[in-house]
Structure 1
Amino acid sequence: MIIPYTDLNEETLNNLIEQFVLREGTEYGAEDVSLPEKVLQVKQQLKSREAVIVYSELHESVNILPAAQFSDKS
C-alpha cells in the first residue's frame, strides 16, 4: 500500500528518509554527500513522485521505492 508522504508529519518523514538513506548505503560518486543533502534529495523524489513510500502488511514494514518499480498490489 502506498502511503502519501504528505500523510506523515515532518519529523516522522525525516526519520523515515534518514533510516532509508543510512540503510541503503548508496554510492554518490567521488563527492561526499551529507546526510541532510541525501534526505533532501529523497524528499524531492517523493514530491516529484519519482519515489513512493510503501507499507507492506505482510512484512509489517515501510520502505521507499522507485515509483517505476512499484505496483500497488499489496
Structure 2
Amino acid sequence: MSLLWPKPWQKQTPTDSSTDNRQRETMIIPHEQLSDSALRGLMEEFITREGTDYGWVETSLERMVEQVRGQIERGDVVIVFDPATESVSLLTKREARELGND
C-alpha cells in the first residue's frame, strides 16, 4: 500500500527571532506511548484526511487501519509532533529523516 497525504510540515511559518528554535523542531513520538484509542484516532484521521489517495481499489476503513498499524509497528511510518503548529502527522521514515528526525 502506498501512502500519499498532504504535507503540512512543508508550510512556511513566519520566523520570529523571539521564537525558541526548539519549538520549530519536530519530535518523533513512539507509538507505544499512545493509548490504543489515541493511536486508532490518529490513524483514522490520517486515513480519512482529504487528499489521501489509496488507489483504484475501494478498501474498508478497518483494513486501512490494519495496514497503517503494520507500517507503524514495523517502523516504516512514524508519528511526528510539530510543537510550532501543535499538530501530529504520520510520515514515512524517509520523510522524517529529511526533517532531521532519525
Q: TM-score, normalised by structure 1?
A: 0.89
Q: CA deviation at 1:57?
A: 0.4
SS in 2 for 1:53: strand
1:40 equivalent in structure 2: 66
| Structure 1: gaps spanning 5 or more residues | none
Superposition map of 1:1-74 within 5 A: 1-70=27-96, 71-72=100-101
SS in 1 for 2:49: helix
CA gap 1:24/1:48 in 2 versus in 1, 3 angstroms: farther
Percent pairwise identity: 38
| Structure 2: gaps spanning 5 or more residues | 1-26
Find the aligned partners of 1:61 and 1:27 in 2 and give their Cα distance.
21
Point out the structure with max Rg over C-alpha: 2
List structure 1 segments (4+ residues) > 6 angstroms apart after TM superposition. Answer: none
Aligned partner of 1:31: which letter? V
User: Over aligned residue pairs, what C-alpha RMSD do you find?
Assistant: 1.5
